[in-house]
Amino acid sequence: MKITRLVLEDYRNIAHMELSPGEGVNIIYGDNAQGKTNLIESIWLLSGAKSFRGCREGELIRLGQQRARIQAAFYGAGRDQSIQLEFGQRRRILLNEIGLSSQSKLSGALYVVVFSPTHLSLVKDGPAQRREFLDTTICQLKPQYHKVLADYGRVLTQRAALLRDLPYNSYLADTLDIWDQHLARLTAVIIKTRYTYLRRLSAFAAQIYEGISQNKETLTLSYETRAAENLDEENLLSQVSQAIRAARGEDTRAGATTVGAHRDDIAMNINGLSARSFGSQGQQRSVVLALKLAECAMIENLTGEVPVVLLDDVMSELDGARRDYLLNSLLGRQIFITCCDQSLFSGIQQGHSFHIEGGRLLGEDIISPKPAG
């Protein structure tokens, strides 16, 4: 897949910008707070996902304006296509000029993988970020998974309200039984989907990590949940139902659901030891690098499409060896890289570079191989 044209209007600090990216490496450079990440974020939104910066939609609109617009032409699924997003009082999502009811409906049209500094804490931070890492990619591969997650969130909210009222209104126990059935069904679907995806992802990640460590270390990933003991068993729903029922007393005291997909985690081990507890900073970054490259490989393996890759200011966070490994592993893909220091890419022989300042595109250059001699 490749983006051939990108137009932004009143998007964050960008009043108007038009780019025609190259098929390979596209370097977006400039000082901090000039709009580089805004550009990367706009491309990410085209995948149907929410902002990786965790912002509200209103923050996407340039100060003093009523709406923001993103337009893109891209090549995918063997043909030229287009996407248009408009945020504001009048919200519009168009795929090939056909209106869609929500942004999530774009999932599966344009595959994108993003790697930002926040992802470098995937190993050492809490489980929420690791669950989001799984869910975000699964949503691209299985667009219907968006609805499963949304339904699950609604059930958690309704059940929490009932749990808080239950000590004062015992007759609500029958209603809670009904919500428990919904919770068990959705939990089983989410756990099975995540577990199946992680099992396939871990094979790619292990191979990539082996290459990064020069065959000195092994990486293993496993899914952790209180809701079931054996995730391969056909009676997963029964296991989940029993776990939820057993936790009802604990849930009533807490006023919240203590067992379910929202409490699960991914264990990441290097040579059998927890990467979070015992891994060095270099090892932890190698794990994240392996996860992101494995994500690219998974999308390509399952869809036959090569995803667009966004690297937002991560190159300065990696040492030279990891930078080289990352770039060499991404050859043959369209890549967008943001940076402040162009010298980090002095070894790149071919590509495009775009200079951004104050939300404006100041210049564009084509990087060509230097003549021998």
For the chain, the structural domain boundaries read 1-111+308-373
DSSP string across 101-162 = SSGGGGTTTS-EEEE-GGGGGTTTS-HHHHHHHHHHHHHHH-TTHHHHHHHHHHHHHHHHHH
Residue 150 has pLDDT above 70, yes or no: yes
Tell me what pLDDT residue 15 has. 95
Pick the CATH number of 1-111+308-373 from 3.40.430.10, 3.40.640.10, 3.40.50.720, 3.40.50.300: 3.40.50.300
Per-residue HEC secondary structure of 294-350 comes to HHHHHHHHHHCCCCEEEEECCHHHCCHHHHHHHHHHCCCCCEEEEECCHHHHCCCCC
pTM for the whole structure:
0.91
Question: What pLDDT score was predicted for residue 327?
Answer: 86
- Whether the pLDDT of residue 364 is over 90: the answer is no
The pair of three-digit structure tokens given for residue 101, joined into one six-digit string? 């009811």
Helices 127-141 and 145-165 meet at what angle, rounded to 10? 140
> Does pLDDT of 172 surpass 80?
no
Question: pLDDT class for 370, splitting at 50, 70, 90?
Answer: low
- Report the sign of the C-alpha dihedral through residues 155, 161, 166, 170, in that order: negative
Mean of the pLDDT values across residues 244-273?
95
Average pLDDT, the chain: 92
323-347 pLDDT tens trace: 888 888 998 899 999 988 776 666 6
Closest to 183 (Cα-Cα) out of 235, 261, 88, 274? 261
Q: What is the pLDDT of residue 118?
A: 86
Least confident segment among 84-98, 157-171, 293-307: 157-171
If one counts every other C-beta atom within 10 angstroms of the C-beta of residue 150, the result is 12
- Mean pLDDT across the stretch 78-89? 95
> Which whole number is the average pLDDT over 196-201?
96
Q: What is the pLDDT of residues 270-293, one digit of tens each?
A: 999 999 999 999 999 999 999 999
What pLDDT sits at residue 13?
A: 94
Rounded Cα distance, 166 and 102, in Å: 36
